[in-house]
Amino acid sequence: MDTTVLFTAALGLQRPWSVTDLAFDAAKSRLEIRVDFAAGSTFACPDCGAASKVHDAPEHRWRHLNFFQHETQLVARQPRVSCGEHGVRQIEVPWARKGSGFTLMFEALVVLLAQNMPMAAVSRVVGERDTRLWRIVRHHVRQGLERLDLSTVRRVGMDETSRARGHNYLTLFVDADKAKVIAIEKDRDAGVVGKFKEWLVAHGGKAESITDFSLDMSPAYIKGVEENCTRPTSTVLSARTRPEAVGRVSAHED
């Protein structure tokens, strides 16, 4: 089988895209995969979807997953189309998101590694600057947060952790039923619960739907929960006043 056909299939490319050439530089330990579109191809205008002719096609590069131990780059002409209604518009390629110098598969690897090791270690593994890798992670974290659904949150755990030397703290909120962090707020005062409530509502949740809170004996935390996350008909009881009570707030000493 022709190697360009093999790599076209391996990359999952479909017409009008295909691999047209491969170049391997042993000295630089780098594989270059050239991708191009068929002559005479038309592409959908990004604004209206109308089939449009190619206006021009500047060359771009994207870092891809390594081929064995060798750095791999995709090189392709990325068309700009001429739409009768919207003028010249840049189309997106199917293997990378807009504005990224990496393929989607490479970004997926970075996000996976970043869940399990420091970014400095990820940088050493993939051979890219950590500043570039942080941009990948931040993009996908933002996307994940936009899709976050908190409509099923019923039991919440909250606790503090230091984020730097001195009195610099974060408060973490956890969905106790899913054992998953759902919000992080700066500081450890009563106001963080109000910010959590805003975050909860913005992502489909309701403060009045929360049946239980688990937190430490901090008066500020207890006050924040009492002021922001109790049902109008409920009475909030803390372990500080009635340790034996089963109430809306479950407080414990560290």
pLDDT at 211: 86
pLDDT at 1: 66
Query: pLDDT tens digits, the chain, 254 residues: what are they?
Result: 689 999 999 999 999 999 999 999 999 999 999 999 999 999 999 999 999 999 999 999 999 999 999 999 999 999 999 999 999 999 999 999 999 999 999 999 999 999 999 999 999 999 999 999 999 999 999 999 999 999 999 999 999 988 777 778 999 999 999 999 999 999 989 999 999 999 999 999 999 898 888 888 788 888 898 888 765 444 344 444 444 433 444 444 44
pLDDT at 41: 96
pLDDT at 238: 43
- Considering the domain delimited by 155-252, tell me its CATH architecture: 2-Layer Sandwich (3.30)
pLDDT at 229: 79
pLDDT at 231: 58
Query: Would you say the C-alpha torsion 25, 28, 29, 30 has a positive or negative sign?
Result: negative
Domain ranges of the chain: 3-145, 155-252
